Amino acid sequence: MTHLTPSLTPDNRCPMFVDSHCHLDRLDPATHGGDLAAVLDAARARNVRQFLAIAVTLEDLPALVELARTHDDVVISAGIHPLHRLAEEPSVAAIKDAAERVAAVAIGECGLDYHHLDNHHLDKAAETPPSREVQRERFRRQLIAARELGLPVVIHTREAREDTLALIREHSDPAVGGVLHCFTGDLDMAREAVRHGLYISLSGIVTFRNAQSLRELARRLPLDRLLIETDSPYLAPVPHRGKPNEPAWVVEVAECIAAERGISLEEVAAQTTANFYRLFRAAAPDAPAEVREALRSAGLV
């Protein structure tokens, strides 16, 4: 696949960054005095110019729609997180209908999380997460909805490698693809996912002191399959660990990848931005004008 760096790097300007996964409706009220506009402005000041706000449940959608309506640089997804507790599981038709109604650019976040299933008993206060069976059926329905809508999937996967890959193989269209978000698996799993048309998104975890294997993955995966994200308000990168995360700090994730690969920050920014719009095609018409121009000349929109 071609690298698009030069065309996305206007002279003397740092190219833009994209936060490909943030929970703008769940940001800590203490951040920037609870003022979301100020949070986004802090990110824009570092040239983070596109935000994909991710749904955790379909009930989030009204708030997310309002965010997208009031901010030109916010696009949204529609989906149900594997750990979210629901009284009733939405059908494929209901998921498709919800996604279409809100003009979602992706389905998710969806996926499988067996970690909390195995460990929730350690935390007596925690509610029982949905069972493996419920998670698999919920994920399957969202993969089918995504395939039928031609939308990419945003996938959360934790300690569920085989089941995640099996469902992707069975139900996901490699021509549409998706992303393994906040990836913490190994290189083999990442490569297997890439073979099925998926991108790998790295979060602030890649900056953590003990994340050597993730940094190795940041070096070894092809740059044209990587995305960057904050997953804010969770998982603030070094040197902000312990604070509520915010989209401005996606730059720290890009800096870490640049340092690992021995390339410029500009190249990481340009390539991950191109990757974002290549995957989330429905967001491309609203990209900043010079980015749209570059994408057009590269034949991506």
Least separation, in Å, of the C-beta of 181 and Zn ion? 6
> Which residues, numbered 35-74, are part of the site for Zn ion (CB under 5 A)?
none
Residue nearest Zn ion (C-beta atom): 231
SS3 288: coil
Least separation, in Å, of the C-beta of 203 and Zn ion? 9
Contact 196, 155 (CB under 8 A): no
25/231 with CB nearer Zn ion: 231
> Which residues, numbered 142-201, are part of the site for Zn ion (CB under 5 A)?
none
For residue 287, what are its two tokens? 């990209």
77/273 with CB nearer Zn ion: 77
| b/e code 43-77 from CB counts within 10 Å (16+ = b) | beebebbbbbbbbbebebbeebbebbeeeebbbbb
Least separation, in Å, of the C-beta of 11 and Zn ion? 36
200/291 with CB nearer Zn ion: 200
9/230 with CB nearer Zn ion: 230
Least separation, in Å, of the C-beta of 298 and Zn ion? 29
H-only helix segments in the chain: 36-44, 61-70, 92-101, 115-119, 132-149, 161-171, 187-195, 212-220, 250-261, 265-279, 289-297
Least separation, in Å, of the C-beta of 71 and Zn ion? 19
Q: By C-alpha distance, which of 113, 96, 112 is closest to 104?
A: 96
* Backbone phi and psi for residue 48, each to the nearest 5 degrees, phi listed first: -85, 110
Give residue 145's Cα distance to chain centre. 18
60/267 with CB nearer Zn ion: 60
Least separation, in Å, of the C-beta of 108 and Zn ion? 9
Q: By C-alpha distance, which of 187, 176, 180 is closest to 203?
A: 180
Rg, the chain, Cα only? 18
Q: By C-alpha distance, which of 74, 173, 284 is closest to 299?
A: 284
109/252 with CB nearer Zn ion: 109
Least separation, in Å, of the C-beta of 23 and Zn ion? 6
> Which residues, numbered 215-254, are part of the site for Zn ion (CB under 5 A)?
231
73/231 with CB nearer Zn ion: 231
In whole angstroms, what is the distance from residue 218 CA to residue 207 CA?
11
Least separation, in Å, of the C-beta of 80 and Zn ion? 12
Number of residues that bind Zn ion (CB under 5 A): 1
> Which residues, numbered 247-286, are part of the site for Zn ion (CB under 5 A)?
none
List, in sequence order, every residue forming a beta bridge with 52; answer none if it has no partner.
75
57/264 with CB nearer Zn ion: 57
Residues that bind Zn ion (CB under 5 A): 231
